[in-house]
Amino acid sequence: MEAGSEPVPAHSSRAPAWLLGLAPLALLAVAIAAIAALGAPGLGERNGVPVEELAVERTTLRPGEIALTVRNDGPDPVAVEQVSVNDAYFPFTGGGEIGRLGSRTLSVSYPWVEGEAYEIFLLTSTGATIEATIDAAAESPAVDAGFIGLMALLGIYVGVIPVAIGMLWLPLVRRAGPGLVRGLLAFTVGLLAFLGADALLEGLEIAAAGPQAFGGAALVLLGASGSYLLMAWIEAAMRDRRRRARTAGAGGMHLALLIAVGIGLHNLGEGLLIGSAYAAGALALGAFLVVGFAIHNTTEGLAIVAPLSRTRASPGRLAGLGLVAGAPAVLGAWIGASLFDPSLVSLLFGAGIGAIVQVVVQIWPALRPAAGSRLDGTAFAGLLGGVAAMYATGLLIGA
């Protein structure tokens, strides 16, 4: 760098800003076109054998039929030509070439037997094989009115009702002194931390099993950061409006809503898992499961009302909070049971995590006994209690 170099004067050019932004992109396009036109190495015909990759996104079983929804998550087109089930070829429909990121449903005519395991090989045009497994065959539910109703009921059982019951702790919360309220908020944070960690593990597991072309595990992190930023933005906007309106005292309701949204996103994920497990026949629908989820999710209701100790809240608003937190379980059950897509589910799990982290960041200052002081025994006890309560009630579910 020369000592005498002069700084470039601002606005040295009269060109509009949009042109300055587009110029490098246009140059890039010209360069690529030139390389292609000259037949330079690195473009055109690929070297080596094609890479054939398919991910099985969904398996649907109907009497005499196994349907696999596959997605091409490799770099090259894949054509499934034959399908063998437990070492026997059976006719199928839906074969043919699948382009990159494309998806297809292969329907195999096969007399499967309930409860048995199946190993399926998809034989491609080059003779490569892609394996899919069914651990225990069970008929997939048909998506009809009865099914939609059942999934809604399931979502209400595990989401809406427990949260609503948990919110009935509100009178207790109102009567509590400041120390106990702080303890309850800490309990809420511990609970949310547990849910966040749980969603992270589940999300990563689902992402790993699904196609990688859309990002795989990165989708969980993408969903988390996206929802965190979105929640933070909304939160900032709400705070601005509140400041302008000078409605002091609405902070509790605002925090309760954020918690409800975070828990709602979590329950969406829980619904997805319940719905897809039910569709796969892997869910033992029984009183035990429903009771387990009810106890587990009742604590979530407490988390929502914890910030409302000094805030007035109409029954309608409370009901709204409960629905925000609980109703997504219904939506999740519908999606999970009918169009389970690993990439979408990974993203949604990530969104749940981001929302939870944002809520924890919001609550955290309120755990301190006084502004700027350190956390005390009440806060630590509450945090540990929240984690322990979720862990213990989680044991009841076993799904």
Out of 43, 75, 89, 310, the only residue in the binding site for another protein (CB under 8 A) is 89
Least distance (Å) between residue 90 CB and another protein: 6
* 3-state DSSP assignment of residue 309: coil
| Residue whose entry in the numeric block shows the structure tokens 């043919």 | 96
Q: Specify the residue, 84 or 103, whose C-beta has the smaller distance to another protein.
A: 84
Q: How many CB atoms lie within 10 A of CB 319?
A: 13
**Going by C-beta distance under 8 Å and a sequence separation of 6 or more, which residues neighbour residue 98?**
54, 70, 71, 72, 77, 78, 79, 80, 104
Q: Is 86 in the site for another protein (CB under 8 A)?
A: yes
Out of 29, 30, 64, 201, the only residue in the binding site for another protein (CB under 8 A) is 64
Out of 119, 179, 237, 282, the only residue in the binding site for another protein (CB under 8 A) is 119
Q: Is 147 in the site for another protein (CB under 8 A)?
A: no
Distance, CA of 293 to CA of 238 (rounded, Å) = 32
CB 326 within 8 A of CB 159: yes
Q: Is 125 in the site for another protein (CB under 8 A)?
A: yes
Least distance (Å) between residue 324 CB and another protein: 45
Q: For 156-211, where are the alpha helices, taking DSSP H only?
A: 161-166, 170-175, 178-209
Burial 176-187, CB ≥16 within 10 A → b, else e: beeeebbbbbbb
Least distance (Å) between residue 115 CB and another protein: 13
Least distance (Å) between residue 101 CB and another protein: 22
Q: Specify the residue, 137 or 272, whose C-beta has the smaller distance to another protein.
A: 137
Count of chain residues binding another protein (CB under 8 A) = 31
The C-alpha R_g of the chain, in whole angstroms, comes to 27
CA distances from 218 to 54, 137, 313 (A): 19, 31, 40
Q: Is 113 in the site for another protein (CB under 8 A)?
A: yes
Name the one range near another protein by CB under 8 A: 59-67, 234-242, 243-251, 269-277.
Answer: 59-67
Out of 95, 269, 326, 352, the only residue in the binding site for another protein (CB under 8 A) is 95
Q: Is 105 in the site for another protein (CB under 8 A)?
A: no
Least distance (Å) between residue 133 CB and another protein: 11
CB 159 within 8 A of CB 267: yes
Contacts with another protein, residue ranges (CB under 8 A): 63-65, 79, 81-84, 86-93, 95, 109-113, 119, 121, 123-129
